[in-house]
Structure 1
């Protein structure tokens, strides 16, 4: 099996899906309707089969592009997005507002709250960006080390466009015109107990602000309501967490009591709101070296998200019905 072609990062002012190869294997003729045309369902089946075989051929020959971070747009569109989209639309019934605040082109840093015991909120945000943006842009997410240490999960994360949460990678993506997503609360956010739901944890030292100042891209606050209810964390088994090398080992109303069934998230109703951009291109060239400025901008972003969460919660009805 050959390796995929690696394409250099370029300024991604236009984001297009990778089209299916026109040279897929031939398919046997099928019966035609009167008039010489195949029935729509048969014609659709033929096209689907041809596309699937062409996709398999490209996978086997390595004839597909990836960037230097391992992002594979074709695999993301064909295999990763469809199941996530079903979860997004049918299970969590996500409603999105503020899409007009996402830039049509050029880089931007999307900063969001983090919750839910498992980081499902990050991939739902990625689906929200891709499926609601007029140009179907991808959200290049910054993930913790633990994500890339899990064998299968790490490979899929790379394929879907994620990379390590470090400033050099973030800055290169932003300079190339990508939408980059960051969750500054980290494990403190997703691992907090249910009693502290929708109360933001610390945003670290403001590394995301430094990356935005260096590249001059806007910071877009993102507020997510609904993720806190999918796995209500009522306890933490710290000995098991240390045994498995995890930041926490959660106990929820369904896990570990129900075993594997406890891993099914509760079907809460989600709302995702993208706030007005906070510009960073009006500061001096060495603004990222001013710790007070970095602290103030970090606090501004955090407070923006926190107050938006409070407003969204006052407008929400039943957490599972909306």
Structure 2
């Protein structure tokens, strides 16, 4: 069909196209002979409530052929109808058509976390004031550990050391077990990170009861706090008592020889003592779980040892690192190395008779086997790590 525009020029258009004049209020005139405009109803799925679709600014504008009606806004201004995707909205995405800006979600999540943390802290203070918490016979305060210490260590574990934990399925959900790990890092930060890994990521969220050296309980201010967060004296009676009671116990057989070794001997295991931890496991019949930690060696690279000053202060060693004592208290900030913690397959001990704990050859063989397992796992994890800090 041939039409003429305002200048009198002929224009070839589709025979089905109609020109629909608009009033000032945006409604189409009902001109004589004009085809009525039919508005298409939005299809509503059964069982799904109808929602008003918010305009999307991310969809490209569809080219509208000449003569095709355009969607007119409330002010009568013509607007091009955006082309809709061919597929329907994702049922799993409840935000489709809701007009919610995704950029607000991180802020909302942070606000929710802060609100939850504040509520937890207020509940913790209320329990401390009312005395609604339990301390066991060894002085362990689970409420203090989970609601005061853990929130402080969690950012260090997750964001600073970026710990990757493996093999948590090897730790039983219930019952006694003995976790045996390598020890390093000048300060025993590795023990705290192991405890955080089990508390936060194990399905049963178990507390690791740590066997600590005598020096920990000789420091006036450190001793009571160490008791409250689960540390117990590293002696045979206490270890057996905890294991028989069904606790998860952690031990670091290298002791000060491992945590205070020079940086040039990093990732080389020291002697595992006399195997007292194996005797405790044999007497109680609990499994022994070898644990390997990579990353702790680099947090305080020990390049020297002020032995004379250490003897004067009653310390096993006094480390000299690239930052301490040269930077003062700032030198106590650990370097942000990349960590791996792997829990190996349990070594069962319930198949041995009770008197096996008094067999020195058997104790030595099991001790040496566990030490070799940890050493080989150290080499394997070091091969996987791309660099010290990544």
Query: Which TM-score band (shorter chain)?
Result: 0.7 to 0.9
Partners of 1:45 and 1:267 in 2: CA distance: 25
Alignment of 1:240-279 (within 5 A): 240-279=309-348
Relative to structure 2, which stretch is displaced further, 276-285 or 109-118? 276-285
Name the residue aligned to 2:148.
79
**Could you tell me how far 1:160 is from its partner in structure 2?**
0.9
1:123 aligned residue (171, 179, 192): 192
Relative to structure 2, which stretch is displaced further, 249-258 or 149-158? 149-158
Name the residue aligned to 1:233.
302
**Could you tell me how far 1:56 is from its partner in structure 2?**
2.6
1:208 is the counterpart of 2:267: no
- Which SS does the other structure have where 1:220 is aligned? strand
- Listed one character per residue, the Cα deviations across residues 20-43 of structure 1 (whole Å, up to 9, x for unaligned) are xxxxxxxxxxxxxxxxxxx99999
Higher relative contact order (CA 8 A, sep 6+): 1
**Could you tell me how far 1:162 is from its partner in structure 2?**
1.1
Q: So what's the TM-score if we normalise by structure 2?
A: 0.70
Is this contact kept in 1: 2:120–2:147, CA < 8 A? Answer: no
Name the residue aligned to 2:357.
288
- Which one has the bigger helix percentage? 1
- Listed one character per residue, the Cα deviations across residues 169-222 of structure 1 (whole Å, up to 9, x for unaligned) are 111111111110000000000000000000000000000000000000000000
**Could you tell me how far 1:55 is from its partner in structure 2?**
2.9
Name the residue aligned to 1:67.
136
Unmatched runs of 5 consecutive residues or more in structure 2: 1-107
Tell me which structure has the larger Cα radius of gyration: 2
Alignment of 1:42-53 (within 5 A): 51-53=120-122
Name the residue aligned to 1:163.
232
Is this contact kept in 1: 2:263–2:303, CA < 8 A? Answer: yes
Partners of 1:52 and 1:122 in 2: CA distance: 25
- Listed one character per residue, the Cα deviations across residues 86-140 of structure 1 (whole Å, up to 9, x for unaligned) are 1111110000011111111111100000000000000100001111110101111
Q: So what's the TM-score if we normalise by structure 1?
A: 0.84
How much is the aligned-residue C-alpha RMSD, in angstroms?
A: 1.9
Unmatched runs of 5 consecutive residues or more in structure 1: 1-38
Alignment of 1:141-156 (within 5 A): 141-156=210-225
1:320 is the counterpart of 2:389: yes
- Which SS does the other structure have where 1:124 is aligned? helix
